[in-house]
Structure formats: structure tokens, C-alpha cells
A and B are shown apart, each in its own frame.
Chain A
Amino acid sequence: MAKEETVVQDINPKDPNKTYGLMELMKGRAPLVDKGGPEESLFSWPHLMLWITVVFLGLLVVLVGISWIFDAPLREPFDVDVPENPAKAPWYFLNLQELLLHMDKSLAGVLVPTVVLGALMALPYIDRNTRDTGIWYGTKKGLQITLFTTVYTLGWITVGVLFDETNIYGGFLRLLPGLQHITVPTGVHLVAGDLALYKVSLATVVAGWLLPVVIMVGLTGLLVAIVEVRWRPNIRERAIALFTGFAVAYLYLIVISMFFRGLGMHLTWPWDLPPNAIPF
């Protein structure tokens, strides 16, 4: 076999007929910025490769294991004329379904999700300080705010859900004379090809829109105020309060709707749930 020779070649060979010199220095980020020095980095091969392989194999084992033990559900054949009771959405939409029980469906199903998604997308354009990038919770305060907000959110949602179940304000509204009979236009819709005003009673507006909005905005405002006074937060810490409120509400509403709602989506203890009440 012919002996292999190493040929060293310039990647950008110089033209012998030209002269080269440094023309200018420009301001800008050097390639090393934010990449860590040599001591702070490792070769992807083998370090990263090892881990991503191990994680993949681990996932495969776990997934096949779960699938071996638990069968995917299959209920009776599809029939919308005989709805299930309770009829629940898949678990990741149960939080929305829970909201639907407490307010007007446009508010719960459209406005709230839109506001939340909008706020999530706006977040990195509001908190632009990079000094504490890469640090869990940013500061000690951040962690404290996370814990406080978790308790705060769990508490108020519990109170709110229980309160709504008593239907106290629904009954209260019905007692108020007149509210039932006054109608307000809330939109337009098509009636036999003509645009018509869509009217609902004032009671519906108060119970479906006014109170829920006041409660949601009010509790969020109260949270921000407490955090403001107690911790004197920076922008990131304020964001931590709001995001934690969102994340905890997201999960807790799922738990309530999944495990505590029985026939007619009324509150029930998990052990009293009718069969098939858990959408799994």
C-alpha cells in the first residue's frame, strides 16, 4: 500500500501577486464573546454525544415500559348525540374548560388565552437585562417570589372555585331587580342574511364578564402590589411573579377539572367521581 502523506494546504491560499495588510479595526463582538473560554467548554464528541445518546436510550426504555404496562384508552364509539357526562377535553385543555365554567366563553376561550400568549411572546422584549442570564431564578428574591406566588395562586384559585360553586353571586344578581330585564348589545350577528345586534341581559354581562375580569385583574394586581412592596423587585422578578402565577394556574386548573369535577362538571371528591370522568 502506498504510504499516506499529509499535505498541508492553506484554506485561503494567498495570491503571490498581491500584498496583504491590516486595513481597519472594526467595533463588534468577537467570536469568543459569550462562548466561554477554552476552560469553560468541552468537545461535543464525546461529552455531548454521550449524554444525548444516554437520554435517548433512557427515554426509549421508559416509553416502551409504560406502553407495555398501560393500554391507551378507547371508549365507546363516537356519538355526539349521547354525550358523556362529564364530557371533558384532553387534560392539557382542561384548564380552559375549567375557565369556561366561571365566565363567558369568549372571555375564557379566546380573550384569556390570547392575552396570555401575547404576554409570553412579549416577555423577552420587556425584560432585556442580560446580567443574570443563566442563573436559576436570577436572585434569592426570585426564588422567594416563586414560592410566594405559588402559594398565593393555589390559595386564591381554591377560594374562587369554591365560591363560584356556591353560586352566591349568580343568586345575588338574580335578586337585583331589573338586571335581568335590561339588555345590552354585545356584538353583531347574521339573522336571515341581515346584520343584527346581539343582546344579552345585563346580569349575564356582569356575571360573565365584569366580575371575572375584575377578579382576575384584581388578584393579579394584588400579587404585583404585594411583591412590589415586600421585595422591591426588578423587571425579571416581576416577570417571575406573573409567570409563576400563570404556570401554577395552568396546572392547578387542570388538576381541579380532571380530579374534582364529576357529573355536570360539579365539584366532587376524586373518590366519588363517576366512571370515565378522567379523560385517560
Chain B
Amino acid sequence: MMLPPIPGPLRAPLDKAIEVNKAVLDLIRQSPPWKSIFRNPYPNTDENRALVMFNSFFLHIMPVKVKRNTLKWNYTFGMGLLTFYLFVLLTITGVFLMFLYVPAAGQAYTDMQRLGTNVAYGQLLRNSHRWAAHLMVLFVFFHMCRVFYTGGYKPPRDFNWVVGVILFVLTLLLSFTGYILTWDQLAASAITVGANIGAASPMYIGGLMKAFILGADDPGPPTLIRVYAFHVILLPFAVFTMVGVHFWRIRKDGGLSAPATGRKARQVIVPSTRGGFSVKDVPAVSPEAPLPAPPEEVRR
């Protein structure tokens, strides 16, 4: 690392400090506990950059290398990533809210008020959960639009788009159920409109839908508790699972979509006529055209 020039009298003590710092860090990095957690050295060589990705539980969901295109800010606008982060933040703030909120018709509303008056940072907690929920809906919609306009839904990502549409619906439902939990007049308007839409299903189904949503003939205490169960367990679990499938599929579908690079020759290892293997250039092909399968894993 480049350090700015240091004025004379400070130089010696600073150098000493840096030296001690390095020694301490080395000591830590050489210690058995550290090495038991991080099995490879700091990732500053290509090999270690690869190792760090697949040796870490948290990082191994990401590939060792990504296309340049994936990192272009104006390709994804980070919308999917932001949606995911908002879901994480909502889960964390949501669990804290569960400590402070009882989903009973007589208490829910006062619990909301108490968050603003009796709980340290309670209002901030509630605000961030609320605004994050709105942002998540907004971003999931923008994410869908970006995927659409970049053609990210085309094969082999066709099924992942369907997973996405399901996630879109789940996100709306998650946000809607949370909106009811404040048990104020906004919630009353929302559940009334919601139940009306549910009841609009043709024939017999409408009545069933309404009963399913409200748990009674009119919105009331049974409604609150079932909406709560959906909001804190069923829907988050469904989103969590589907996001898992979504990310898994991104990996299996060859990472994010990108413009075809088919015009460029690509190298593959092919068996040579004299035995052994040689690296050959494959002429320009469309990315759809099958290439001869390399006989062993190709390492880049």
C-alpha cells in the first residue's frame, strides 16, 4: 500500500507502529483458531481467490468468476440484489418486532403506539420495517422490468423467470399481510378491499375465498391472527425457499445473462490424433451451437 509522505519526527514511531501492527496480524493469522476458520490465506492470488469462494459457506453461492457484464451497473441496476437485501433486513427487523407486538385485536394497535413511546428506538425499528417493505415491492417490480427488457427471461433462464413471477406474487402478499397487522384504519380499508377482491371469485369459490381470508363473516380478531401467521411464518418461508431456488437456478443457468460472445473464437481442449490433448481454437459459433465436449475438466 502506498502511504503518503510522513513528516520527519512522526516517521519513526509510525513505522514502528506499522511494524507492530503487522506482527500482531501475522500472529493472529498464523494462530490455530484463525486457521481453523479460514483455511486459505488472504485471497490475493488467483488460486486463493478461487479457494475463498468455494471454501466459505456464505460465499459459495457465488461463482469464482463472473462475467464483466454482470458487474455493469446499468445492466442489472442491482435491483434483484437490493430486493434480496431488503428481504434480509425485513427478516431481521421483523423478528425484533415480534418481541414487541401481540397479534390480538385488543392489543395490536396499542403495541404499535408503544413502539413510538415506550421502546428505545422502537419507532425507528417500525419505520425501517415499514419503508423496507414498500421498497421491496417497488424494487421487485423494477427488477422484473429490467429482466424483461434485457431479455433475461429467455432460455435457459425460462424457468427462473417463472420462479420470479411466483416471487413477485409472494412479495405482494407478504407486504399486504404486514400492512394489516397495525390494526388501524389503513388496515381496515386494506382488508375490506382485499376481502372484496377475494369474494369476487366466481360462484362458490368467492365465498370460500372470503372465509379463508377473514376467518369470519366480517374482518375481526380471527382475521388478525391468521394474517399474522401468514405474515411471520408461511409467506417468509415460501419466499426464502423460492429465493433459494432462484439463486440456485442463476448458477445452474450459467450466471446472469449477457450479450452473446459467440463471435469470438473460444478455446477448448480436444483430443489430438497423436494421443494426449491439445488446445484448439474453435471457430466463431453461436452460443447455442454445441461444442465438442472436452474429455476432462477444463481449468481456466
Q: From residue 122 to 149 of chain B, which have CB atoms closer than 8 A to chain A?
A: 123-124, 126-132, 134-135, 137, 141, 145, 148-149
Check A79 against B293 for contact (C-beta < 8 Å): no
Smallest distance from the beta carbon of A167 to chain B beta carbons, Å?
21
Q: From residue 147 to 175 of chain B, which have CB atoms closer than 8 A to chain A?
A: 148-155, 157-159, 161-162, 165, 169, 172, 175
Q: From residue 210 to 232 of chain B, which have CB atoms closer than 8 A to chain A?
A: 218-220
A127 within 8 A of partner (CB): yes
What residues on B are CB-neighbors of A175 within 8 Å? none
Chain A residue with minimal CB distance to B108?
A78
Q: A31-B294, A137-B149 are in contact. Are A48 and B201 (CB under 8 A)?
A: no
Query: Which of A19-27, A149-157, A199-207, A210-218 lies at the binding interface?
Result: A19-27
Chain A residue with minimal CB distance to B172?
A92
B242 within 8 A of partner (CB): no
What residues on A are CB-neighbors of B204 within 8 Å? 188-190
A261 within 8 A of partner (CB): no
What residues on A are CB-neighbors of B134 within 8 Å? 91
Smallest distance from the beta carbon of B23 to chain A beta carbons, Å?
15
Q: A45-B49, A84-B185, A134-B257 are in contact. Are A106 and B200 (CB under 8 A)?
A: yes
What residues on A are CB-neighbors of B52 within 8 Å? 45
Chain B residue with minimal CB distance to A137?
B149
State the CA gap A68–B125 with chains docked (Å): 10
Chain B residue with minimal CB distance to A92?
B137
B264 within 8 A of partner (CB): yes
How many residues belonging to A are interface residues under a CB distance threshold of 8 Å? 97
A34 within 8 A of partner (CB): yes
Partner of B154, one of A46, A55, A87, A130: A130
Check A189 against B157 for contact (C-beta < 8 Å): no
A178 within 8 A of partner (CB): no
State the CA gap A84–B67 with chains docked (Å): 52
Check A110 against B200 for contact (C-beta < 8 Å): yes
- B126, B196, B203 — which one has the most chain A CB atoms within 10 A of its CB? B203
Check B271 against A44 for contact (C-beta < 8 Å): no
> Can you list 28 residue pairs at the A/B interface with Cβ under 8 Å?
A40-B68, A43-B50, A44-B63, A45-B43, A45-B49, A47-B66, A48-B70, A60-B89, A67-B127, A71-B127, A72-B130, A72-B131, A75-B185, A77-B109, A80-B188, A80-B191, A83-B189, A84-B188, A92-B176, A100-B197, A123-B148, A127-B154, A128-B158, A130-B260, A135-B150, A136-B150, A279-B186, A279-B190
Sample of 7 further A-B pairs with CB below 8 A, known A47-B71, A78-B219, A105-B196: A30-B291, A32-B268, A36-B258, A88-B189, A110-B202, A142-B149, A189-B203
Contact residues of A with B, CB < 8 Å?
22, 25-38, 40-49, 51-52, 55-56, 59-60, 63-64, 66-68, 70-80, 83-84, 87-93, 96-97, 100, 104-106, 108-110, 117, 120-121, 123-125, 127-138, 142, 146, 187-190, 198, 236, 240, 243, 247, 250, 276, 279
